[in-house]
Amino acid sequence: MNPINQIILEGPDLSGKTTLYQDIHNLTSYRWNIQDRSALSMLVYARLYGRNEFGHLEALKAELNNLNNFIILLLPGWEVLSKRFVSRGDEIQNLISLKKIYNIFNEAASELEGYPNVYVIRKEVDDFILKSIISDLFKFENKEFYKLYNYFFLHALASKKNETLGLALTSYDFGKFDDVKLDYLNYEKEKVYYKNITNSILKKIDDERNGVNEYFSDEDVTSRRFIYTSNTCISLAHFVFRKNILDCKFFIRSSNTKDTLKYDLNFLKYISMKVKESLLLENNVITKMHIVVNSAHILDKI
């Protein structure tokens, strides 16, 4: 399962955020954490009033770069908003300020709509759109782990330089590891690399469990010392077992998202499985995998 951290509803006043908020909750029995506005709105209003934008821009990047977040930007035609304003009014905006806000959101939409975790809806949300969005979100949560490489690829593709820094993803396995593709471990360009990392990690765990360390201390399964570091692309792997969760953190300093990342993600899930086996953890132990790809790029476009 790839849990959604939060769904962020964005858009100008009168765009339908409150209605969509309730409709998603009603159809999913309050499954997800839904936020009405966040960093994008802060950025829009900073731009409207001439305030410093840097902090809000960085906050928006952080929300976008967490692939467990999804932003839904509602931007129906201006005639829809102006008609709603005439019929309902607004406590804060007038028609002129509302049009300015609409234009700034429209500029943002043109930059954001290529990102895989952003939905830009340029019409009134009907039942078909609502159910399509919910269906997409469910598919993300249940997508096989290695297939999530496409979110990294599309994110890099949407950026102006075909590279995104600091993309992160969190996923859980509840004991089956049934989406690990063993044939992917034999990917010709990486199979020796994967084997060497596997041997290094399992040897490190074995050594620590048997006191082969600077403290001559036999470490138990709760040790903080099960770590692998390297100056290669898969730079760090750290494994900590706490409260029935094996926490596996990975740092990939650089990844060709188009050609290699799906094999790397598959390998990281495989090595999480092997660590769990090496520590002799029960099958009902949950495995949590948190991956940071610091340079997610498309090699042939850089």
- Can you tell me the mean pLDDT for 192-197? 97
pTM over 0.85: yes
Pair (131, 15) in one structural domain = yes
Query: Domain end: 83, 110, 142, which one?
Result: 142
Q: Is the pLDDT at 180 greater than 80, yes or no?
A: yes
In a domain, 130, yes or no: yes
Pair (156, 292) in one structural domain = yes
Crossing angle of helices 95-112/39-49, nearest 10°? 130
Q: Is the pLDDT at 197 greater than 60, yes or no?
A: yes
Domain with 287 in it: what CATH number?
3.30.572.10
Pair (117, 238) in one structural domain = no
Domain with 84 in it: what CATH number?
3.40.50.300
Query: Domain end: 142, 174, 206, which one?
Result: 142
Query: Domain end: 142, 162, 183, which one?
Result: 142
- Can you tell me the mean pLDDT for 217-230? 96
Q: Is the pLDDT at 248 greater than 70, yes or no?
A: yes
Pair (160, 270) in one structural domain = yes
More confident of the two residues 168 and 160 = 168
- Can you tell me the mean pLDDT for 128-148? 97
Pair (85, 219) in one structural domain = no
In a domain, 33, yes or no: yes
pLDDT band at 102 (very low <50, low <70, confident <90, very high): very high
> What pLDDT digit, counting tens, does each position of 21-46 carry?
999 999 999 999 999 999 999 999 99
> What pLDDT digit, counting tens, does each position of 257-284 carry?
999 999 999 999 999 999 999 999 999 9
Pair (247, 280) in one structural domain = yes
Pair (182, 219) in one structural domain = yes
| β partners of residue 234 | 252
In a domain, 11, yes or no: yes
> How many Cα atoms are found within 13 Å in the side-chain-facing hemisphere of 183?
0
Q: Is the pLDDT at 88 greater than 90, yes or no?
A: no
Pair (232, 283) in one structural domain = yes
Lowest mean pLDDT among 67-71, 214-218, 274-278: 214-218
Percent over 70 (pLDDT), the chain: 99
- Can you tell me the mean pLDDT for 61-85? 96
pLDDT band at 80 (very low <50, low <70, confident <90, very high): very high
Pair (79, 157) in one structural domain = no
Pair (173, 271) in one structural domain = yes
In a domain, 87, yes or no: yes
pLDDT band at 301 (very low <50, low <70, confident <90, very high): low
Given this model, what pLDDT does residue 121 score?
97
Total domain count for the chain?
Answer: 2
Pair (106, 164) in one structural domain = no
For residue 18, what are the domain limits? 6-142
pLDDT band at 199 (very low <50, low <70, confident <90, very high): very high
| β partners of residue 239 | 226, 248
In a domain, 1, yes or no: no
Pair (71, 158) in one structural domain = no
